[in-house]
Structure 1
Amino acid sequence: MDQAAVAAGDARTAEQKAIDEWLPVTSSRNAKWWYSTFHNVTAMVGAGVLSLPYAISQLGWGFGIMVLFMSWVITLYTLWQMVQMHEMVPGKRFDRYHELGQHAFGEKLGLFIVVPQQLVVEVGTCIVYMVTGGKSLQKFQQSVCPDCKPLKTTYFILIFSSVHFVLAHLPNFNSISCVSFAAAVMSLSYSVIAWTASLHRGYQEDVDYSFRSKIPSERMFGMFTALGDIAFAYAGHNVVLEIQATIPSTPEKPSKGPMWLGCVVAYIIVAICYFPVAIIGYYIFGNCVDDNILITLDHPRWLIASANMFVIIHVIGGYQIYSMAVYDMIETYLVKSMNFKPSSSLRFTVRTSFVAATTFIAITFPFFGGLLGFFGGFAFAPTTFYLPCIIWLVVKKPKRGSLTWCMNWFCIVVGVTIMLLAPIGGLRTIIKSAGSYQFYS
C-alpha cells in the first residue's frame, strides 16, 4: 500500500485493497527512476523511427525538421504536465489516464473522453507491433537465408505472436522490467545501425532533395501522412501515469521527482534515436529513401539482419508495455464493475484472449498501419499533444493571457491540426492497400 495514502488516511475496504494489490498497475510500487526511463523509451521509440527519413522527404528540409523538433518539445511539455498532475490531490494518486480525465471532466464524461481514445492507441499499437514483428522476422529470414523457400507473412506473424502468449502472463509492469530494458537497448541499437550504415554508404552524387512527387495532390497527401508518421512517434503518454503508478511515493518524496528524472533521460535517448536517423537518412538518400530505411540500405546483409532482429526484440517489449495497460483496464472493469473474483484463471482468460484477438486482426489486415493512421489520428494527437493541456487548463486554471495559458493553447492548436490532417493520409493508404490486397497472403 502507498505511504501517501497512509498519511492521508486510507478509506479503502480490505476487499478493495486486495483488488488493488492484484491489478497490474497498482500491485507493485517499488520501481526506481530508471524503470521510468526504459519503460518510456520502449513505449515511445517504435520501429516507426525507421520511417522518419521518409517523412522528412515528404515535408522537405525546413518544414520536416521543424515539425520533428516541435513535436519533441511539445510532447516533452505535455509529459511534464501529466507527471505533475499524477498527485495534485493530496493523498490521492491518478494511477490511470482515465482517472485523471474523470477528475477534470467528471466521472462519466471523463471516461467517455479518455477511454476510447486510449484504447485506440494501445490496442492499435499492439496490432501494429504484431505486424511489425512478423514482417521484421520475415526480413530477417530473407537476409540470413536468401535462397530459402519464402513463407507467407501470416506464418511469421503467428510465430511472433507465440512469444506473447507466454509473456502475457507476467503479472504487472515491474515484472516486465527486464523485457522492457532489453527492448529499450534494442531501439537505441537499431537506430544507431540505421544512421551509421547510412553514413557508411556515403553521400550519393545524384541525391535529390526536391519533393517526392511533382503532382500537387500527391504531394499534399504525402505531407499529411508524414505529419501522422512524426506525430505517432510520440505516443508514450498513453501509459505514462500507469508507469508512474509503480514508483513509491511519500508526502516528503512524491513520485513526480524520480518519474520526471526518468522521463528527461528517456527524452534525451529519444532525441539520440530520432534526429540522427531522420536527418542523416534523408541527407544520404534524399527523396529516394524508402518508408523503412533498412530496406533502402539492404547491405551489408549481416548488419541489416541484426537490425531487424533488434526491431523484433524491441516490439516484443513495446507490445508488453501497451498490452499491460489494456489488461489493467479490462481486469479492473471485470473485478470492480462486473464483480468477478480476482483469480489466475480470469487473468489467463483475459490475456490469452487479447493476444489471440490482436494476432487475428494482424494477420487479417497487415496493412493496419494505414488504418491506424486514419483512426489513430483522432487518438494519438489528442492524448499526446493536447488533452493534457486541456486538463491542465481545467484543473490549474492559469490566468488568461499568461505564458502558461498561451503555451497550452498553442499545443492545443497544433494537436487539433494534426488530428484533422493526419487521418486523411491514412485513409488514402488504406484505399490503395486494400485495392490489391489478398487475405492471409
Structure 2
Amino acid sequence: MRVGNMVAPGVEREMTEEEKIDAWLPITSSRTAKWWYSTFHNVTAMVGAGVLSLPYAMSNMGWGPGSVIMVLSWCITLYTLWQMVEMHEMVPGKRFDRYHELGQHAFGEKLGLYIVLPQQIVVEVSTCIIYMVTGGKSLQKFHNTVCPSCKDIKLTYFILIFASVHFVLSHLPNFNSISAVSLAAAVMSLVYSTVAWTASIAKGAPANVGYGLRGKNPSENTFNFFNALGDIAFAFAGHNVVLEIQATIPSTPEKPSKKPMWKGVIFAYLVVAICYFPVAGFGYYVFGDKVDDNILMTLQKPAWLIASANMFVFVHVVGGYQIYAMPVFDMMETFLVKKMKFKPSGMLRFTTRTLFVGLTMFIGMTFPFFGGLLGFFGGFALAPTTYYLPCIMWLILKKPQKFSLSWWINWIFIVIGVLLMILAPIGGLRNIILSAKTYKFYQ
C-alpha cells in the first residue's frame, strides 16, 4: 500500500528504497494521467470481445429476460465502479493503487490478499487468453474474407501472429506509456460495434428468422441461459483494472483523483451503452436464433466491411490485452522485487513479460473455445470482482445504516452477483466440454 508523502515546496528529500521500487513498478511509476485517459482505458478494458457475443447471449435468453439482464448489468456495474472510485482514497494520505490493496484494507492483510488476488489473477490472465483467441480469429476471418480462394491457414498461426505483436508491446513500462495503444483500441471498439449493428440492419431480417430459444429441449435451454449470463458478465467487466487506472491520475487533498476519474468513467459508460445495446438488440433482431457466438462471424457481406471490422477488432484486442496484462506485470514484478529481492532491471522485466505472453499464447492456441470461455470465466471470476466484491467492501468500510437504501441496494447486488457466479460457469463449462468432443488440437 503506497503512502503519500507530502513535502514542502522547494525541499528535496532522498527517496526511500520502497519509493524507488514504486517509481519503477508499472502501476505507480507515473501519475500524470488526465481525466480522458480514464475514459479510453475504461472503454478499452470493458468494450472488448464480449460485445460481439451479446446477440448470441440474447438468443439464449429471449427478448424479455435478455433486455432486463442487459440493463440491470449496466446499472449494477456502473454503481460498483463508482464505489471503487470513491474507496480509492478513503483513508487520508493513502491511495489503494491495486484492487488487492483495497481488499486487504477491508478484510485484513492476509485474508484480503487470499480473497482478492487469486480472483484478480484469474480474471486478468483468462481475459488475456480470450483476447489471444479473439485476435487470432479476427485475423483468420479477415484473411478468409479478403482471399476466399486462398489456402486455409490454421487458427494456431493467426494466434501466433497476434502474440508476436505483444512480444514487442508488453515491454512498454507502464499504463501511461500504452495510452496511444489504448486510445486506438477504444476508438476501434466504437467503430466495430457500429459496423456490427449497422451491417445487421442493412442486411435485414430474413423471412425465416426465429426468436425462440435455440436449445432443443428445456435442459439445453437452461444451460444456454446460464452460459448467456456469463457472456453478459464478461461484457460488463472492467473493474479489475479500475483502481490501477485511477492510480495513474495525480491527486492532492484539494483535487482528489476521484473527480477526474469519475468524469472519465461517465463518458466511458456512455460509450459502453452506445456500443452494447444496439449490437445486442439489432444483432438479435436480424439473425434471431441463428446468430453465431461472435456476430462478425455471422455477417458475410459486404466483404470489405466485414474484413475492415475484423481488423478493427484486432486493433482493439491488442489494446485490451495490454490493459489487462499491465496489472499482471505489476504483480509479478512486485513479487520478484519486494519478496524475492531481485534487483529492478530491464532484463527482469523482459524475462517475466516475455514468459507471460508466451504462456497466454500457448493456452490460447490449445483451447480456443471462444463462446464457452466467455461464459465460464465471465461467471467464475468476473462476476465476484465486478458485481459484488465492491458491495461487500463498501458495507465493511462505509458501514451504511442497517436497512437504509444503501444497505438494501448493496445486499440485493451481492445476492445477484453470487447467483451469477454460481450459475454462469455451469453453462460455460458444458459448452467447453461439448466443443472439446469434436476439437482437434492446434487445428
Normalising by structure 2, report the TM-score: 0.96
Partner secondary structure for residue 132 of structure 1: helix
2:249 maps to 1:242: no
3-state SS of the aligned residue for 1:21? Answer: helix
Q: Does 1:83 align with 2:85?
A: yes
Deviation at 1:379, TM superposition (A): 1.3
Which residue in 2 is equivalent to 1:218? 220
351, 354, 357: which one aligns with 1:355: 357
Q: What is the identity, as a one-letter code, of the residue corresponding to 1:279?
A: G
Match of 2:335 in 1: 333
Gaps in structure 2 of 5+ consecutive residues: none
The aligned counterpart of 2:5 is: 5
**Match of 1:149, SS?**
coil
The C-alpha deviation readout for 1:81-132, integer Å capped at 9, x for no partner, is: 0000000000000000000000001111000000000001000000110011
Instruction: Count the aligned residue pairs.
Output: 439
Q: Over residues 191-217 of structure 1, what are the superposed CA-to-partner deviations in whole Å (9 max), with x where a residue is unaligned?
A: 000010111112333322222224101
- Name the structure 2 match of 1:252: 254
Rate the CA distance shift 1:367–1:3 in 2: closer, same or farther, 3 A: closer
**Residue equivalent to 2:320:** 318
Q: Is the 8 A contact 2:204 2:286 kept in 1?
A: yes
Q: What residue number does 1:400 align with? A: 402
Post-superposition Cα deviations, 1:31-76, rounded to whole Å, max 9, x if no partner, equal 0000000000000001221111111111111110000000000000
CA positional deviation for 1:289 = 1.6
Question: Where does residue 102 of structure 1 map in the other structure?
Answer: 104
Counterpart selection for 1:182 from 175, 181, 184:
184
How far apart in 2 are the matches of 1:284 and 1:177? 36
Secondary structure of 1:377 counterpart = helix
Quote the offset at 1:371 in angstroms.
4.4
Farther-moved stretch of structure 1 (420-429 vs 206-215)? 206-215
- What is the deviation of 1:368? 5.9
Distance 1:373 1:205 in 2: 30
Residue 25 (structure 1) shift:
0.3
- The C-alpha deviation readout for 1:240-283, integer Å capped at 9, x for no partner, is 00000000000000000000000010000000000000011111
Q: Secondary structure at the match of 1:5?
A: coil
- Which string of whole-angstrom CA distances, capped at 9 and with x for unpartnered residues, describes residues 292-350 of structure 1? 21122210000000000000000000000000010001101111111111111110011
2:381 aligned to 379, 389, 412, which one?
379
Instruction: Tell me, yes or no, if the aligned pair for 1:4 and 1:250 is still in contact at 8 Å.
Output: no
Q: Deviations over 1:126-170 (max 9, x none)?
A: 011001101110110000111111111111111111000000100
Aligned to 2:41: 39
SS in 1 for 2:297: helix
Cα drift, residue 412 of structure 1: 0.3
User: What amino acid is aligned across from residue 379 of structure 2 in structure 1?
Assistant: G
Supply the distance in 1 between the matched residues of 2:131 and 2:423 (Cα, whole angstroms).
Answer: 24
Aligned counterpart, 2:345: 343
Q: Equivalents in 2 of 1:7, 1:234: separation in Å?
A: 40
Contact 1:120 1:376 (C-alpha < 8 Å) held by counterparts: no
How many Å separate the matches in 1 of 2:354 and 2:132?
15
The answer on whether the counterparts of 1:97 and 1:242 sit within 8 Å (CA) in structure 2 is yes
SS in 2 for 1:162: helix
| Equivalent residues of 2:132, 2:163 under 8 A apart | yes
1:373 is displaced (CA, Å) by: 3.2
What secondary structure is seen at the aligned counterpart in 2 of 1:70? helix
* Amino acid paired to 2:314: I
RMSD over equivalenced CA pairs, Å: 1.7
Q: Separation in 2 of the partners of 1:175 and 1:13?
A: 23
The answer to whether the 8 Å contact 2:226/2:424 transfers is yes
Take 1:293 and 1:346, find their aligned partners in 2: how far apart are those partners?
Answer: 41
Q: 1:16-55 residue pairs with structure 2 within 5 A?
A: 16-55=18-57
Residue pair 1:3, 1:250 contacting (<8 A) in 2 also: no
Asked if 2 retains the 8 angstrom alpha-carbon contact of 1:207 and 1:285, the reply is yes
Q: Relative to structure 1, is the Cα distance of residues 53 and 215 closer, same or farther in structure 2, using a 3 angstrom cutoff? A: same
Residue deviations 1:7-48, cap 9 Å, x none? 69x999611111010000000000000000000000000122
Aligned to 2:157: 155
Closer, same or farther in 2 for the Cα pair 1:288/1:369, shift >3 Å? closer
Judge conservation of contact 1:38–1:184 (CA < 8 Å) in 2. Answer: yes
**Aligned-partner Cα distance in 2 for 1:192–1:136:** 16
Whole-Å separation in 2 of the counterparts to 1:201 and 1:7:
63
Deviates more, 1:199-208 or 1:180-189: 199-208
Distance in 2 between the 1:235 and 1:100 partners? 18
User: 2:207, 2:31 → 1: CA distance?
Assistant: 56
Distance of aligned partners of 1:285 and 1:166 in 2 relative to their CA distance in 1, 3 Å threshold: same
Task: Give the 3 Å change call, closer, same or farther, for CA 214–356 of structure 1 in structure 2.
Answer: closer
The TM-score, its normalising length taken from structure 1, stands at 0.97
Specify whether residues 430 and 11 from structure 1 end up closer, same or farther in structure 2 by C-alpha distance, changes over 3 A only. farther
Distance 1:157 1:295 in 2: 17
Cα distance between partner residues in 1 of 2:442 and 2:274 = 37
User: Residue type of the partner of 1:5?
Assistant: N
Distance in 2, Cα, partners of 1:186 & 1:310:
5
Identity %: 72
Letter in 2 for 1:6: M
